[in-house]
Amino acid sequence: MKANRAYARATITGKGERALQDGHPWVYEAEIRRFELPSGQAWDNNGSLQAGAWSSPTSGTSGQEDSSISAPEEVNKRSAPARQERDTVRRAIWERRRRKEELSAPATDDEIIPLDALPDGSIVDVVNRKGTYLGTGLLSRHSRIRIRLVTRNANDDFSPAFWERKVRWAWEYRKTVMGSDANACRVIFSEADEFPGLIVDRFNDVLVTQTLSAGMERLKPVVFPALLKVFADDGITLRGIYERNDVATRRLEGLEQTTGWWREPAGDASLVVTDITENGVHYHVDVANGQKTGFFLDQKYNRRAVARIAQGRRVLDCCTHTGSFALNAALGGAEFVRAVDVSETAIAMARDNAQLNGPDVVSRMDFTVANIFDLLPELERTHNPERFDFIILDPPAFTKSRKTVSSAERGYREINYRAMRILPRGGYLATCSCSHFMDHERFKRMIAEAAQDAGVRLRQIEERQQAPDHPIVWGIPETDYLKCFLFQVV
């Protein structure tokens, strides 16, 4: 690594070093032991924003005592040996916890890194305890993910040319793997493209972004012009960049929620709808009001796989959103398609999209506002009166947290069990999950258990994942999130 670098340095623990060596690009708050500025000024803590966060309960500071753990002087008051032994164990656990946590937080305000010395989005070199360079990332002072790596090359200089080069690499990759489908694709996929916390989707003549980290928020004046330049160099005229920063996770980075055009667009600023074509299906995309960035691009080729087996079938598309699976099935030659969603707005958008694709499509489709947790049991109870022989399950993420994955698994099992009970022998099932916390093995185990409970066997047609414009990077499990299985019930 070059000497006399102009960036702050963070020395991290062995655990943090091993995670980076395994390919993960994040350094967590508790993995940082020391920050040092080029001036030599240093802080032997992790730069937490609150002093005394883990102060001893008996020290008279703001820390609060755990009432389940007896203070040392109370132990001698207890006469029962069993009680005394239990309290001794509790005291030892509390003491180990206190020592560990006090290593990870500053004791006084003087030990906290001043904002003007190292603001959010600062470039920070990451080194191990021997000073060996591990990578360089962007600082998030408010987040548990304290540093997000953007490079592991000590020779990178982080000039505007560096960021433009990274944007160009990302776009060249999309052109290669998506071909003509690159007119509607994900251009930048956060950590998978080393733009941590930045999502950029292209919908024809509009780019839609979500900026989810403090570092990328600070870099927008550099990265966004680079995006426009790279597309212009390719002869692509864009109306502008629309920001969808109406995401609750921005609060974890100390950022406000905002939406709107980044700079004035070319043309009418009130026009927030654009048109795309995917797999031959036409859609209106409302970039201001649609979910996430306006449209879910990751299922592009999974929808095409559904269309291939939909011909002549009666299809039930659960959680249709804007009708994408349903429309692919209809254009694939389905005899009848019912599109279901709990949102009236989503159903209205799906109906509009059907109109875009002509009267033949509209004549074979129906649109229903319903909760699938009510609809599927009713179809089972009434013995599938509409003779559906192909059911598509593409629900929103039932969990966005590891803590709630068991509850989410019960929800997935319920809808899959009901679908298997409804389908006739020889019928088809497409089932998906977009939560990375519901990993592949757990999802497959859930499907197997649902099939066993339903008394059916499954013949797997395909196991699929997200389209390649959402690349999976080995070592970053968060990039490997979408599961999609096609089965025949036998």
DSSP states of 9-28 as a string? EEEE-HHHHHHHHTT--EEE
CB 24 within 8 A of CB 149: no
Which pLDDT does position 107 carry in this prediction? 60
**What is the full DSSP assignment across 433-476?**
E--TTS-HHHHHHHHHHHHHHHT--EEEEEEE---TTS---TT-
Provide, rounded to the nearest whole percent, the portion of the chain with pLDDT above 70.
Answer: 89
Element (H, E) at 349: helix 344-356
Which pLDDT does position 67 carry in this prediction? 38
**Three-class secondary structure of residue 315 per DSSP:** strand
Which residues fall within 8 angstroms of residue 72, CB to CB, at 6 or more apart? 91
Which pLDDT does position 117 carry in this prediction? 84
**CA contacts within 13 A on the Cβ side of 408:** 21
Domains of the chain with CATH codes = 8-151 (2.30.130.10), 160-275 (3.30.750.80), 298-489 (3.40.50.150)
Beta pairing class for 314-318 and 390-393:
parallel
CB atoms within 10 A of CB 229: 14
Which pLDDT does position 3 carry in this prediction? 57
- The rounded distance, in Å, linking the Cα atoms of 294 and 203 is 9
| CA-wise closest residue to 471 among 191, 181, 182, 227 | 191
Which residues are paired to 319 by β-bridges? none
Which pLDDT does position 50 carry in this prediction? 56
- The rounded distance, in Å, linking the Cα atoms of 414 and 377 is 9
pTM of the complete model = 0.86
- Going from the C-alpha of 221 to that of each of 164, 201, 262, the distances in angstroms are 12, 18, 10
Which pLDDT does position 116 carry in this prediction? 82
Which pLDDT does position 375 carry in this prediction? 97
- Locate 155 and state its tokens: 């020779």
| Active-site amino acid positions | 434
Quick one: 270 exposed, middle or buried, by C-beta within 10 A (0-12, 13-18, 19+)?
Answer: exposed
- Locate 409 and state its tokens: 């698994």
Which pLDDT does position 108 carry in this prediction? 64
- The rounded distance, in Å, linking the Cα atoms of 340 and 40 is 62
Which pLDDT does position 88 carry in this prediction? 82
- The rounded distance, in Å, linking the Cα atoms of 302 and 324 is 11
In this prediction, the residues of the chain whose per-residue pLDDT falls under 50 are: 53-78
Which pLDDT does position 336 carry in this prediction? 98
Which pLDDT does position 58 carry in this prediction? 44
CB atoms within 10 A of CB 146: 26
Which pLDDT does position 469 carry in this prediction? 98
φ, ψ of residue 9 in degrees (nearest 5): -125, 140
